Amino acid sequence: MVDVDRLDRNIAALAAQSRARGLALRPHAKSHKCARIAARQIAAGANGICCAKPGELLALFAAGIRRLMLSAPVASAAKIDALARAGAAGAELIVTVDRLSLLDAYAASASRHNTAIGVFVDLDIGLLRSGVATAAEAVALARATQAAPGLRYLGVQAYEGRAQHIADFAQRRAAHAASSARLRVILAALAAAGLPAQHISGGGTGSCRLDTEDQVFTELQAGSYIFMDEAYLPVDIDGSGTPAFETALHVALTVIGHSSADFAILDGGSKSLAVDGPPPRVFLDDREVGRIEWCGDEYGRVLPAAGCPVLPVGAVVECTVPHCDPTLNLHDIAHIVSGDRLVDFWPIDARGRAD
C-alpha cells in the first residue's frame, strides 16, 4: 500500500529543498521500480531517474521513462548491447564506468547502434564497492571517455552508502565530511587536467540535508525518502530529531489465527516483507499495536505492544517495512490509497528485474 498523499509530499519536499540550494535531483528507482512514481518525480522537477540494474532501466524505459541512468558497472556484452539499443530507440542514457575495458565496450556498442551514451566516471569515496579511488585513475578514465567515439563525458558519480544509516546527526556529518574531502581531491585533479565534472552525482536519503549544505554534488540520487522504511526511520536526517519525511509505504496483512501461546499470526512473512532491516511495526486503525517477529516465509507473529490485546482473527493490519527496495521487489502491484480510499493500482514495472 502506498499513501499517495504522503508520497507526493515527500517528493515535493526534497524537490523544494534541492531547488532552493540550486541542486538537481536524479532519484533512485531501486526503491520503487515503478514508472508511475518515476513520472511523478520527473514532473516535480527531477532531471532523470537512476536504476541499479540494466533490467530495471529497460523495464522503466519500456513503461515510458526516457531520462535514465545506470548507477552500477556491468560485465555482460549482451546487457551493454541492450542498453545501447535503448539509447538508439530514444532513451536519454547515462552509464557509469569504473574501468577502461567497460568504457571500450560501451563505445563499441554505441558506435554499432549509431547512438550516443553519456558517461559518469564512478568514484569510490569510502564504500569500497565500485569505482576508482585515486585522482590519477579518475583522470585517466575521464580522458579516455572524452576521446571515445559514441560516448560523452558528463562528470562523476560518488556514493558513500555507509554514511546513510548513521542515526546520530553529528556522527553522520563527520563521516560525510570525510567522504566529501576525498571527493574534493579527485574533483580538483579532474579540473586541473582540463576535465572538470559538469555533473557530480551521488548522495542519498540519509545524507540529503548534508549534501545540500555542502554543495559538492550537483545532483542527488536519494531513493528511500519517498517511502521511509524502518532502516531509515531512526536516522535524524536534518538534525531536528523529528522525521524529515513521512512513512508512505505499508504492507497490509491479515490475522489468520492464533498460536498455542496466544500470539496473533499474520499471513505474511519473508514472501511479503524483506527481512534485511529492523522488524516492522504493526498498526490497526492508525494505532501502533505491536511488532512482527518472523516465523516463516508465509507467517509473521505479532508481539503486542504494552497494553494492547491480542488481535482477533480477521483483523487487517498495516505494517511498516524493514527495507523498501527489496520489499517492492516482492510485489507485482502497489495499491494506491488516499486517506481511507483505494484509488488506483500501479504496476511495479521493474519488479524481479535483477539482471
Alpha-carbon separation of residue 77 from 82, 96, 107, 129 (angstroms): 9, 15, 12, 21
Positions of CATH 3.20.20.10 in the chain: 2-226
**pLDDT in the model for residue 334:** 98
- Rounded-to-integer distance, Cα 166 and Cα 147, Å: 40
Predicted TM-score (pTM) of this structure: 0.96
Are the C-beta atoms of 279 and 292 separated by less than 8 Å? yes
Architecture per CATH, domain 2-226, reads as Alpha-Beta Barrel (3.20)
251-320 sits in which CATH class?
Answer: mainly beta
pLDDT, averaged per 10 consecutive residues of the chain (355 residues), comes to: 98 96 96 98 97 98 98 97 98 98 98 97 93 97 97 96 92 95 97 98 96 93 98 96 97 98 97 96 96 96 97 98 98 97 98 92
Residue 126 is given by DSSP the state S
What was the pLDDT predicted at 172? 95
Integer Cα distance of 77 and 75 in angstroms = 7
